Amino acid sequence: MSQEYEGASGWNFFLEDEPLRRWLSARKAPHDAVQRLADFGELCGGRLDALIAEAQRDENLPALERYDRWGNRVDFIRYCPPQLEVRRLVLSSGVLPPVPFWERMVKAYLVNQCGEGGAACALAMTDGLASLIERHGSPEQKKRWLPVLQDPGGPTPLTGGQFVTEKQGGSVVSDNEARAIRAPDGTWRLTGLKWFCSNPGELWVTTAKPEGSSSVALFLVPRRLKDGSLNACHILRLKDICGTRGKATAEVEYRGAEAEMIGRASHGLAILMRTVIRTSRVHVAAGSLGALRRALVEARLYAQSRTVLGRPAAELPGVAKSLAKIEAAWRGGQLAFFEMIRAIEEDDPAAEVLIPLLKVGMSRAASDAVREAQMVFAGNGILRDFSILPRLSQDAVVQEIWEGTHAVLSGHVEKALRRGDSRKAFSALLDGAPLPDDLDGEEFCLAAFEALCRSLLRRAAPARAA
Ligand SMILES: Cc1cc2nc3c(=O)[nH]c(=O)nc-3n(C[C@H](O)[C@H](O)[C@H](O)COP(=O)(O)OP(=O)(O)OC[C@H]3O[C@@H](n4cnc5c(N)ncnc54)[C@H](O)[C@@H]3O)c2cc1C
115-141, pLDDT tens digit by residue? 999 999 999 999 999 999 999 999 999
% residues pLDDT > 70 (the chain): 98
Same domain, residue pair 210 and 338:
no
Q: How far apart are the first and last CA of the chain?
A: 35
- Do the strands 73-78 and 203-210 form a parallel or antiparallel pair, or are they unpaired? unpaired
- Does residue 169 line the site of ligand 1, with CB under 6 A? yes
Same domain, residue pair 296 and 417:
yes
**Average pLDDT, stretch 188-211?**
98
Domain boundary among 265, 296, 315: 265
Domain boundary among 265, 297, 316: 265
Q: Whole-angstrom Cα distance, residue 124 to residue 187?
A: 28
Structural domain includes residue 417: yes
Distance of CA 107 to the CA centre of its chain: 11
Query: What is the structure's pLDDT at 399?
Result: 98
Q: Whole-angstrom Cα distance, residue 364 to residue 446?
A: 8
User: 390, 383 in Cβ contact below 8 A?
Assistant: yes
Please write the tens of the pLDDT for every residue from 362-383.
Answer: 999 999 999 999 999 999 999 9
Nearest-atom index, ligand 1, CA of 244: 1
Same domain, residue pair 227 and 302:
no
Same domain, residue pair 247 and 324:
no
Q: Whole-angstrom Cα distance, residue 8 to residue 346?
A: 35
- Residue 166 bridge partners (DSSP): 169
Same domain, residue pair 174 and 233:
yes
356-360-362 Cα angle (round to 5):
110
Structural domain includes residue 333: yes
Gyration radius of the chain over CA positions: 22
Same domain, residue pair 244 and 325:
no
Please write the tens of the pLDDT for every residue from 25-56.
Answer: 999 999 999 999 999 999 999 999 999 999 99
Same domain, residue pair 260 and 326:
no
Distance of CA 205 to the CA centre of its chain: 17
Q: Whole-angstrom Cα distance, residue 159 to residue 402?
A: 19
CATH number at 220 reads: 2.40.110.20
Same domain, residue pair 367 and 399:
yes
CA distances from 68 to 222, 404, 423 (A): 19, 36, 56
What is the number of structural domains in the chain?
2
Nearest-atom index, ligand 1, CA of 197: 8
**Average pLDDT, stretch 199-209?**
97
pLDDT at residue 100 tops 90: yes
pTM above 0.75?
yes
- Does residue 122 line the site of ligand 1, with CB under 6 A? no
Structural domain includes residue 428: yes
Structural domain includes residue 429: yes
Q: Whole-angstrom Cα distance, residue 338 to residue 23?
A: 8
Domain boundary among 265, 292, 322: 265
Same domain, residue pair 261 and 276:
no
Please write the tens of the pLDDT for every residue from 396-451.
Answer: 999 999 999 999 999 999 999 999 999 999 999 998 888 888 889 999 999 999 99
Give the closest residue (by CA) to ligand 1 atom 23. Answer: 170
**Average pLDDT, stretch 175-189?**
95
Question: To which H or E segment does residue 160 belong?
Answer: strand 160-163
pLDDT at residue 240 tops 90: yes
- Does residue 404 line the site of ligand 1, with CB under 6 A? yes
**Average pLDDT, stretch 268-290?**
98
Please write the tens of the pLDDT for every residue from 64-92.
Answer: 999 999 999 999 999 999 999 999 999 99
The 3 state secondary structure assigned to 308-352 is ECCEEHHHCHHHHHHHHHHHHHHHHHHHHHHHHHHHHHCCCCCHH
Residue 99 backbone class (left: φ over 0; alpha: ψ -120 to 50; beta: rest): beta
Structural domain range at position 238: 160-265
- Nearest CA to 153 out of 84, 70, 73 is that of 84
Query: What is the structure's pLDDT at 4?
Result: 67
Contacting residues for 165 by C-beta, under 8 A, at least 6 apart: 194, 195, 196
pLDDT at residue 3 tops 70: no
Nearest-atom index, ligand 1, CA of 404: 21
- Ligand 1 pocket check: which of 125, 164, 174, 196 to mutate, most ligand atoms within 8 Å of Cβ? 196
Structural domain includes residue 40: no
Query: What is the structure's pLDDT at 432?
Result: 84
Please write the tens of the pLDDT for every residue from 281-320.
Answer: 999 999 999 999 999 999 999 999 999 999 999 999 999 9
Give the closest residue (by CA) to ligand 1 atom 19. Answer: 402
Same domain, residue pair 254 and 279:
no
Query: What is the structure's pLDDT at 464?
Result: 60
Same domain, residue pair 440 and 330:
yes
Structural domain includes residue 317: yes
CATH number at 422 reads: 1.20.140.10
Structural domain includes residue 276: yes
Query: What is the structure's pLDDT at 5?
Result: 85
Q: Whole-angstrom Cα distance, residue 22 to residue 39?
A: 17
Please write the tens of the pLDDT for every residue from 149-176.
Answer: 999 999 999 999 999 999 998 999 999 9
- Nearest CA to 101 out of 324, 345, 292 is that of 345
Max CA distance (Å), the chain: 79
Structural domain includes residue 57: no
User: 210, 203 in Cβ contact below 8 A?
Assistant: no
Query: What is the structure's pLDDT at 34?
Result: 98
Same domain, residue pair 249 and 285:
no
